A = this chain, B = another copy of it.
Amino acid sequence: MTDFNQTRAAFDLPEGVIYLDGNSLGPLPRGAAERVGRMMTQEWGSLLIRGWNEAGWYVQPRRVGDRIAPLIGAEPGSVVMGDTLSIKVFQALSAAVAMRPGRRVILSDSGNFPSDLYVAQELVAALDRGLELRIVAPEEVETAIDDTLAATLLTEVDYRTGRLHDMAALTARAHAAGALAIWDLAHSAGALPVHLAEAGADFAVGCTYKYLNGGPGAPAFIYVAPRHAETARPALAGWMGHAAPFAFDPRWIPASGIERMRVGTPPVLGLTALEAALDIWEGVSLDAVRRESIRLSEAFIAAVATRLPGLPLASPRAPEHRGSQVSFRHPEAYAIVQALIARGVIGDFRAPDIMRFGFTPLYLTLAEVEKAAGLLADVVLTEAWNQPEFRVRAQVT
């Protein structure tokens, strides 16, 4: 039985803040700083180089991957940590196109996070062999899948609107067309139940600083379906993905299984903070998280609709078609988000006109959500955003 009072108590949340931006950066798990401090003084400080063996740093990317796997419906041993999400996209995509040498199209959609598109574009340009990145509207993905495709590269939950793709259906359709399916779980992992194995996904990637609360710049994960694990070959390979890293063989021989997706030395500090964050998930049911997320987001939509009936919802209205966020559009979205932050409600602006609010049941209560909706209405109705300090657009938002 998931106890959200208990999970909430596992975070250090600042006073007076209603945090609706855990879909961008999750909050600090209580004890994470102490855990990292212990790793630094007792492991790095005392063991020095011996920490790679004696403190288990070397196996940490797999150990942590094995804890992520059940959260995303992946087979044991099919997930490994490292680098950043964009780098893992690059590995998955380069491996996928190499596995479909006769195919020339990578299909993505305009709701994908731009970095995924950048990775694909620059890979296509570098490979210079007639590959094409085809970008369609999210609702056109299904019909755009045909037998010219090498792979689909899709983010399950749209970072702006929260629109949720049907992973199982699109994966099946990709497979029927002879293509591979790569899923970006940036806004899925820890937000809702994900069933990679059940859906038959070929590759998946994700970050851990959002719903998994690993901290700023926390390492990414990559999943390779076990049926591909001995053949997938990323264009970007390093010594930690070698079959025998410490043989210092001059040729790269890929490690067996998911380990081949490792590249260089793993970020031990970041992985250690993430381990503390993953402790919170012990005993938590993602079905319960999903139910509570829907309860919170429905309450938010209802409360906003009552006071701001004209405010356009940018997210799908039906909760089964949304991830764990709700977005509204307003021409003054940026200034409104700033004014809300000044009132203690932290949401996100996404260009050009999106106000984005994330719902994270592990630490967010219904009372907070209702209060946030009220404050949003106050700001919009009183034009509290229409003041100089909220209208100066910061360079980084």
A interface vs B, CB < 8 Å?
12, 14, 17, 19, 21, 24-25, 27-28, 32-34, 36-37, 40-41, 44-46, 48-53, 57-58, 83-87, 90, 94, 98, 110, 113-115, 117-119, 121-123, 125-129, 135, 207, 209, 215-220, 233-239, 242, 245-252, 263-271, 273, 341, 346, 348, 350-351, 394-397
Contacts and interface: CB of A to CB of B under 8 A. Distances in A.
A118 B236 CA distance: 9
Q: How many copies of this chain sit in the oligomeric assembly?
A: 2
Contacts of A117: 250-252
A396 B252 contact: no
Contact of A236 (B34, B36, B90, B219): B90
A274 to B, nearest CB: 10
Q: Which of A24, A25, A135 has the most CB of B within 10 A?
A: A25
Contacts of A269: 36, 215-217, 267, 269-270, 273
Contacts of A36: 33, 36-37, 40, 269
A77 B385 CA distance: 37
Contact of A50 (B218, B237, B265, B346): B346
Given A32-B40, A36-B269, A215-B268, 11 more contacts: A34-B37, A53-B397, A86-B238, A115-B264, A117-B250, A121-B252, A122-B235, A122-B236, A129-B129, A135-B250, A246-B396
B28 A33 contact: no
A18 to B, nearest CB: 11
Contacts of A250: 110, 114, 117, 135
Given A52-B216, A264-B87, A40 B273 contact: yes
B87 A87 contact: yes
A306 to B, nearest CB: 28
B48 A265 contact: no
A244 B45 CA distance: 40
Given A235-B126, A242-B114, A219 B267 contact: yes
A46 B113 CA distance: 27
A209 B45 contact: no
5 contacts: A36-B36, A83-B83, A122-B237, A125-B235, A269-B270
A49 B28 contact: no
